[in-house]
Amino acid sequence: MLFSEYARYQYVRSPLVEVICQLRFPAILTINTKEPAEFQEAVRHDFPRYAARKEQLPPKVTGLGTPNPKLEQQPAVVNHSFVSADGLWKINLTKDFIALSTLRYTQWEDFALRLDKPLAQFIQVYEPAFFERVGLRYVNAVSRKALGLTDLLWDDLIRSPYLGILGEPDVDESKVGKSAMDTELTLEGGVRMKIHAGPGLLGGGKKDPEPKFILDGDFSLPGSTAADKVPQLLGDLHQYAVRFFHGAITPELHEAMGPLPVLE
């Protein structure tokens, strides 16, 4: 089952580890060469911690198909970050994109409200012609230990399309070193869906050695999206994300997470 019916829940024991919204736009060079003081002034009450770092892009190959292809060094990109006092919410701004991410997601309305002011200020200050890509990504990491489900297999908690070889009855899960599914497909209206599913270690297992089942869904629309169309589009992407997650989990996992219905 790729998508379930659209039904929203808040989970007492939510597996969400990060939610990211990124909007890409045609390059605005002043963001790379001038500190975004006006933008910061508008958002610093909610995002008081500011930092900037230069990120070196990989070299670009030019002249492919000619006798003299060359590697051209790309100019560094300045990534401005604005972080909330508790460190759980962050805005990133570069010459190509603005993004909001959080490590403490509760529900869509709260996330959308947190995005509204900085996005409106960005549009007012920098006047992007349009957005080239609008994306919304939900990263879930299901912990059997946290849910008291250590006696169950992933096959009991995750639906078979996302399990790969782990869904086969004659495969011993404990003997599988690595198994993951990565899929990209185009949905209605040109929306693109990129999925990663499979067991993995958060942070490389340095702080937590327990394998989690990662359900990482990235939903986006490329093209040219006008600023006034962004809120409705993000609402649509959110609905895809909700339906994907519920289509990937079993009733056992749903109940173990402590579902509380969200009224529209």
Give the bridge partners for 198, in sequence order: 214
From its phi and psi, is residue 190 left (phi > 0), alpha (psi between -120 and 50) or beta?
left
Mean pLDDT of 97-103: 98
Q: Is 244 helix (H, G, I), strand (E, B) or coil?
A: helix
Q: Indicate whether 75 pLDDT > 90.
A: no
pLDDT for the residue 146: 96
Kindly report which listed range (6-20, 109-123, 180-194, 198-212) carries the lowest average pLDDT score: 198-212
pLDDT for the residue 2: 76
Percent of the chain scored above 70 by pLDDT? 99
Q: Please report, for the chain, the start and end positions of each structural domain, with discontinuous segments joined by +.
A: 1-25+128-263
pLDDT for the residue 161: 92
For 13-22, how does the pLDDT look when each residue is reduced to its tens digit (9 = 90+)?
999 999 999 9
Instruction: Give the distance from CA 3 to its chain's centroid.
Output: 18
pLDDT for the residue 178: 87
For 52, the token pair is 């900037």
- Residues 216 and 200: their CA atoms lie apart, in Å, by 11
Contact indicator for 181, 197 with CB cutoff of 8 Å: yes
pLDDT for the residue 1: 59
pLDDT for the residue 122: 97
Kindly report which listed range (69-78, 96-105, 157-166) carries the lowest average pLDDT score: 69-78
The mean pLDDT of the chain is 93
Q: Indicate whether 35 pLDDT > 80.
A: yes
Q: What are phi and psi of 166, to 5 degrees?
A: -65, -15
Mean pLDDT of 107-115: 96
Between these two residues, 73 and 162, which has the higher pLDDT value? 162
Between these two residues, 67 and 14, which has the higher pLDDT value? 14
- Residues 176 and 163: their CA atoms lie apart, in Å, by 12
C-alpha distances in angstroms, 237 versus 13, 157, 188, 230, 242?
A: 23, 25, 11, 10, 9
pLDDT for the residue 88: 98
